[in-house]
């Protein structure tokens, strides 16, 4: 059984105004797997009101037109996680719209629902006579992940990450399914290393019986590591998350024509405020994504990865990463697999770590000019 896990997906943005969005060789590569799984980090819908809390706080409103689900279908994605901080950007109507659109497209989903019972239900795949359960959770109520409604017994939202309940879900599912995989949405954005809490939680999931953990949210690739010979992708970065247009105060914008795009200011990374329409452009490291190849045979689970890159033309292609990138992936894995990771993380994050700042500068310079 060969499964492919991809990072964050937002199938709209400037893709609404262009024909191509992945290269032919990448499309053929995706077709070689038994199933393709990713995180849909947006709501799907047309003409729906924006979330009032985010609008009042001038936070990013990320959504994609209903028709953009066609890009997921064209790439044959079988399952998407909805457990993320942008699923509720069109409010309850947007959540319900997203679920309806995916159901009509025949794409399974997990991690959100009209109540906690539905939100905590796994997506189930049947491949080669084996049943695979996929759970999704969103780290809720932290400054790192931001605002999103969590599902309760009587209200809609995402499946919140409570590690004790997550462990119980995994143990229970192992009695019913052949394999259990987990997709958390967590961590601190734009960071090389996962927080120690994420490392502890991922190991707890594996210890409870999960056969793999495949995470998202940081918009920057973090290491693929192993615990008890089971894979943990701490963040797969962005897979297909193009640049997008934004209008004040911060909602994504879809004008009738893309002709306006060349005349708009282009702002890299996260602008603190905007007073006129702009094009939001991802920085270099956020244009790199990780595709995790998960091979399951009997009790053995192995994993490797390929890196992809979203070009300035917003087409996803394979990334031929330079030596500093390869070195970074190796030292990140060695760090998180260490028993002294909390100490390593603390030293790495220290404001006195001059070596870290110098290496990051060198890595950015080489990557941009390779």
pLDDT attached to residue 367: 45
Confidence band, pLDDT 50/70/90 cuts, at residue 369: very low
pLDDT tens, position by position, 143-155: 678 889 999 999 9
pLDDT attached to residue 370: 42
CATH number of the 2-315 domain: 3.60.21.10
Which range of 51-65, 263-277, 315-329 scores highest in mean pLDDT? It is 51-65
pLDDT surpasses 90 at 359: no
pLDDT tens, position by position, 188-229: 999 999 999 999 999 999 999 999 999 999 999 999 999 999
CA distance 110 to 234: 19
pLDDT attached to residue 143: 67
Task: Evaluate whether 4 touches 30 at the Cβ level (below 8 Å).
Answer: yes
Q: What's the pTM?
A: 0.94
Task: Evaluate whether 201 touches 186 at the Cβ level (below 8 Å).
Answer: yes
pLDDT attached to residue 366: 45
pLDDT attached to residue 353: 66
Task: Evaluate whether 340 touches 272 at the Cβ level (below 8 Å).
Answer: no
Task: Evaluate whether 260 touches 278 at the Cβ level (below 8 Å).
Answer: no
Query: Would you tell me how many other CB atoms lie within 10 Å of the CB of residue 107?
Result: 18
pLDDT tens, position by position, 59-95: 999 999 999 999 999 999 999 999 999 999 999 999 9
Q: Is 137 left (phi over 0), alpha (psi -120 to 50) or beta?
A: beta
What whole-number percentage of the chain has pLDDT above 70? Answer: 94
Mean pLDDT of the chain: 93
Q: What are the residue boundaries of the structural domains of the chain, listed by start?
A: 2-315
What whole-number percentage of the chain has pLDDT above 90? Answer: 87
């Amino acid at each position: 059984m060969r499964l492919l896990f991809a990072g964050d997906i937002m199938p709209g943005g400037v893709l609404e105004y262009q024909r191509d969005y992945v290269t032919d060789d990448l499309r053929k590569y995706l077709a070689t797997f038994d199933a393709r799984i990713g995180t849909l980090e947006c709501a799907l819908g047309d003409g729906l009101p924006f979330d009032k809390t985010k609008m009042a706080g001038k936070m990013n409103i990320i959504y994609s037109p209903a028709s953009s689900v066609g890009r997921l279908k064209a790439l044959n994605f079988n399952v998407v996680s909805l457990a993320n901080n942008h699923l509720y950007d069109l409010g309850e109507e947007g959540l319900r719209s997203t679920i309806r659109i995916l159901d009509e497209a025949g794409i399974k989903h997990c991690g959100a629902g009209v109540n906690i019972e539905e939100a905590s239900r796994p997506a189930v795949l049947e491949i080669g006579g084996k049943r695979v359960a996929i759970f999704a959770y969103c780290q809720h109520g932290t400054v790192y992940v931001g605002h999103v409604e969590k599902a309760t017994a009587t209200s809609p939202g995402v499946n919140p990450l409570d590690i004790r309940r997550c462990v119980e879900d995994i143990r229970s599912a192992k009695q019913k399914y052949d394999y259990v995989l987990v997709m958390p949405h967590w961590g601190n954005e734009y960071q090389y290393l996962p927080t120690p809490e994420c490392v502890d939680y991922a190991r707890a999931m594996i210890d409870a019986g999960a056969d793999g953990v495949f995470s998202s949210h940081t918009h920057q690739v973090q290491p693929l590591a192993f615990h008890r010979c089971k894979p943990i992708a701490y963040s797969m970065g962005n897979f297909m998350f193009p640049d997008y247009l934004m209008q004040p105060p911060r909602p994504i914008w879809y004008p009738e024509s893309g002709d306006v795009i060349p005349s708009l200011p282009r702002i890299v990374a996260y602008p603190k405020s905007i007073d006129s329409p702009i094009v939001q452009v991802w920085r270099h490291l956020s244009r790199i994504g990780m595709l995790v190849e998960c091979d399951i045979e009997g009790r053995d689970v192995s994993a490797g990865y390929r890196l992809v890159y979203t070009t300035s033309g917003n087409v996803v292609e394979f990334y031929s990463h330079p030596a500093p990138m390869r070195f970074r992936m190796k030292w990140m894995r060695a760090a998180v697999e260490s028993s002294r990771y909390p100490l390593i993380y603390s030293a790495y994050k220290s404001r006195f770590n001059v070596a870290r700042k110098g290496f990051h500068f060198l890595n950015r310079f080489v990557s941009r000019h390779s």
